[in-house]
Chains A and B, each alone.
Chain A
Amino acid sequence: MKNTAFTEKHIALGAKMAEFAGYNMPISYSGINDEHATVRNNAGIFDVSHMGEFILKGENALDLIQRVTSNDASKLTAGKAQYSCLPNNDGGIVDDLLVYCVEENKVYMLVVNASNIEKDWNWISTFNSKNVEMHNISDKTCLLAIQGPNATKILQPLTDIDILNMKYYTFAKGKFAGVDNVLISATGYTGAGGIEIYFEDKNGDAEKIWNAIFEIGAPQGLKPIGLGARDTLRLEMGFCLYGNDINDTTSPLEAGLGWITKFTKDFTSKNIFEKQKAEGVKRKLVGFEMIDRGIPRHDYLIKDAAGNLIGKVTSGTQAPSLNKAVGLGYVATEHASLDNEIFIEIRNSLVKAKVVKFPFA
């Protein structure tokens, strides 16, 4: 099991630790509900250094990215990032990722899920016929997400970059807490606002940054947050989690990711997606909330009133900010319309739910 640069800190702070994607990661500190509320109402810090980062460089870097991703990366100018996915040859998803344009037409950074680093690297490499320079910098790159409505206000004194007014999905490189070359990005997986910072752990920089954030943040109520609350926060926003809501067998169109599937360029499985768009998909990822008491969980069956199987839950929880149980799941398209009543099979009984819009929050 690998450690991040902050593993010792998490243990010292009393985190409940568990293995995630091969890393020893903090699952919770003070409790998921408290951590969740801290991020929704104030600010929290997540160590997500387990995530993968690839640098793609050279005059053909954009071509390669366009070929393997579904979104249109040619729209990106330096300092902009976009959400995208890597389709496989069968219309499924290898991974979802962020594409950062560091230098237009020259240098890009791809941020991928920890559990898919090797799979993504190999997949992208098979399409690299024009000698794009690829670097897997995952092991040496730290990633901290500082999220919440007060996150940028709290952190602004640590940098000259104007993070208070940084637009969503833009980024800049500069000095942060006295450390040079920190990439500061107005992105996140919580829907609560804030930034994510990428930097290399050398000469104790990781410790320096962590300590500086706590020194300025702790008196203002900033707290460390584990992966448990990260999951409830993203689920309230209806953000897909790879391995749960999307995987090698789900199409981005089924998953409601048509907005990152652009037919302006050629890419893997484009024909399959065009056909799905023209003919409609057979199943859709929907958000639902429980009407009767019960909590939906990954892989629970979804049935109609007559008890016929119509789909499966992909994520579910008691949503801490909403005080109700919500979930995501694929259902046959005829059952996907808003307010449609569906039934979640929980311990052999059918519990009533209805399709709702997400974000739930």
Chain B
Amino acid sequence: MNFPSNFRYTKDHEWISLDGNIATVGITDFAQSELGDIVYVEIDSVGKTLAAETVFGTVEAVKTVSDLFLPVAGKILEFNAALEKQPELVNNDPYVGGWMIKLEVADVKDVEALLDAAAYQNLVH
């Protein structure tokens, strides 16, 4: 299982990748594998400013539904529209095509405080 070393991770299995103060957020390879075939990603929080660890959407697999938690505080700018038609991108390409939201991060230092790839790998192994 692959966990890019330049990303940060949460114990709820989201990844976050920072570019300036704009972050991209998705779920990890481990999370997609645990969920199984993903059939729907619902995100109705675009435009909202939310605190860290609040629910910003849900991901539905064939058998289960799981909440998505915001890794750090910020304003949700955009939802990956490709997931509307192809939710399976989250399974097949969790770190690139399967990204879920773009986030304007309130404080970039919050991101550094999250788990690095090694720490996350320890958590799931």
Binding site for B on A (CB under 8 A): 16, 27-28, 31-34, 228, 231-232, 293-295, 297, 317-318, 320, 347
| Contact residues in B for A228 (Cβ distance below 8 Å) | 36, 62-63
Interface string of B55-83 (1 = CB under 8 A from A): 00010111101000000000000000000
Task: Tell me how far the C-beta of B85 lies from the nearest C-beta in chain A, rounded to whole angstroms.
Answer: 12
Inter-chain contact total with CB atoms closer than 8 Å: 38
> Does B39 belong to the interface (CB within 8 Å)?
yes
Binding site for A on B (CB under 8 A): 36-37, 39-40, 42, 58, 60-63, 65, 91
CB atoms of B62 and A293 under 8 A apart: no
CB atoms of A231 and B63 under 8 A apart: yes
CB atoms of B58 and A347 under 8 A apart: yes
Q: Which 10 A-B pairs have the closest CB atoms?
A: A318-B39, A32-B62, A33-B37, A295-B60, A31-B37, A32-B37, A228-B63, A32-B36, A295-B40, A317-B62
Summarize A's interface: helix, strand, loop or mixed: mixed
Q: Beyond the given A295-B39, A320-B37, could you list 5 further A-B residue pairs with CB under 8 A, ordered by the A residue number? A: A16-B36, A31-B36, A32-B37, A295-B40, A320-B62
Residue from the list A16, A33, A294, A347 in contact with B62, Cβ < 8 A? A33
| Contact residues in A for B61 (Cβ distance below 8 Å) | 32
| Contact residues in B for A34 (Cβ distance below 8 Å) | 37
17 sample A-B contacts, Cβ–Cβ < 8 Å, listed by A number = A16-B36, A27-B63, A32-B37, A32-B61, A32-B62, A33-B37, A33-B62, A228-B36, A294-B40, A295-B39, A295-B40, A295-B65, A317-B62, A318-B40, A318-B62, A320-B37, A347-B58
Residue of B61, B62, B91 ringed by the most chain A CB atoms within 10 A: B62
